[in-house]
Structure 1
Amino acid sequence: MKQSKIQKGKTNIIGVTGGVGAGKSTVLKYIGDNYNCKVVFSDDVANEIKMKGYPAYDELVRILGKAILGDDGEIDRGKMAAAIFNDAKKLEKVNKILHPAVNTFIINIIDEEKLKNRLDFVFVEAALLIENGYKDIVDELWYVYADEATRRKRLKDSRGYSDEKIDGILGQQLNDETYRLNSDFVIDNSKDLDSAGEQINKKLGEWRV
């Protein structure tokens, strides 16, 4: 394990990444329940910045049209997904709007919590932390790992995904070696939460609340 970069007396920023089905949300719920921290999920941020009043809302409506809006005037996720389905150019345009906007929102949260310095940690979860350069933003980057068989079973049980869909998703994600090379700490979440919790507590035990 690499030497820890996190320190007492400051708000430490930790990025948490890993492939689909690895159980990042479950691990982060455990951390949120047991440590003095804030957990930021990139998907939640992406949903928030698509709401009326945020710049991303206006840009998305301009690109995709008012057909993506629901009766309440907000962007309907299902309608938006249908609008970009099988349209690589539209998807690229949407990503160019959302990814920078999400990053800016998260960085603002990080800066605010650093100034307050009332938390031990801010955990930032995103599938694309490595690709989006978060190694330069966070104090440490953690990788939640689970073996492929476990991930496949979870995706089938919890989301009803077919083997074909899972193959497609896994093929688009970073491989295990790349995750490990870019990470400061690896949580093996192939087993149950008790096992993952032991690894986390060994790493962060002195901060437990």
Structure 2
Amino acid sequence: MFLVGLSGGIASVVEPGTPAYRQIVHHFGPGVLLESGQLDRQKLGAIVFSEPGKRQLLNSLTHPPIRRAMLRQTLCYFLLGYRYVILDIPLLFETRRMTRYLKRTVLIYCDPQTQLQRLRRRDGLSWPEARGRLAAQLPLADKIPLADVVVDNSGSRESARQQVLRLHGQLEASRGYLPARGVALALAAGVLTLAWGVFRRLWQ
């Protein structure tokens, strides 16, 4: 199995009851919650995008548990025999900490005007607020040279879907999973050989 890094332009979600959720409420207060108990993305976003220090705090609270969850799920899919796993990493190209472990990197791109309009429509932001949030991230155009594959999501959903299907076909046809699978089989064979040797000694 090999890893594919996926990134785009904005967003993150933390579910109630998780350690990261409790830490966010502790540091930012109950004012960032909706009546349902879910995080109020607009309120939290207004805080962290206006204060870089708050944004760094939020990242420090959410990134470690997210990485642990990704590792657990990746190991699970590896044991199930999947050929590749896509890791959704919003700050993939900003931090570049994970790129060394990835076989491919994929960028979901859309033109700046479309991105701005979608962000405003999704979060109900004013033009200055939306521009401020986009300015806090590396522009998508600057990420293009860093990505192995670019999916242009500026147009229709069907256009993006067709691009994703073509990418899936390329990844499925790839033999990039073979080295990792070979190493895993060699390790498994070594463990079994060792266990068999210990078993024979115990019964001799």
Give the structure-1-normalised TM-score.
0.63
**Larger relative contact order (C-alpha < 8 A, sep ≥ 6)?**
1
| Corresponding residue for residue 129 of structure 1 | 92
Cα displacement (A) at 1:171: 0.8
Select 1:111's aligned residue among 75, 100, 106. Answer: 75
1:51 aligns with 2:13: no
Listed as ranges, the gaps of 5+ residues in structure 1 are: 1-10, 21-41
Mapped partners of 1:82, 1:124: distance in 2: 23
Residue-pair matches, total: 169
The AA in structure 2 aligned to 1:202 is: R
Higher mean displacement: 155-164 or 189-198 = 155-164
CA RMSD of aligned residues (A): 3.5
Match of 2:93, SS state, is coil
Change (3 A) 1:103 1:154: same
Higher helix share: 2
Taking structure 2 as the reference length, what is the TM-score of the superposition? Answer: 0.64
SS in structure 2 of the partner of residue 108 of structure 1: helix
Give 1:114 shift.
1.5
Which residue in 1 is equivalent to 2:4? Answer: 14
What is the 5 A alignment of 1:32-51?
Answer: 43-44=12-13, 47-48=14-15, 51=17
Listed one character per residue, the Cα deviations across residues 76-119 of structure 1 (whole Å, up to 9, x for unaligned) are: 523983996666545433322222221222122212212221x3
Q: Which deviates more, 197-206 or 148-157? A: 197-206
Find the aligned partners of 1:61 and 1:156 in 2 and give their Cα distance. Answer: 25
Instruction: Report the equivalent of 1:180.
Output: 144
Say yes or no: does 1:158 pair with 2:127.
no
Aligned match of 1:31: none
Larger radius of gyration: 2
Unaligned runs of 5+ in 2: 174-204
Q: 1:175 to 1:201 in 2, by over 3 A?
A: same
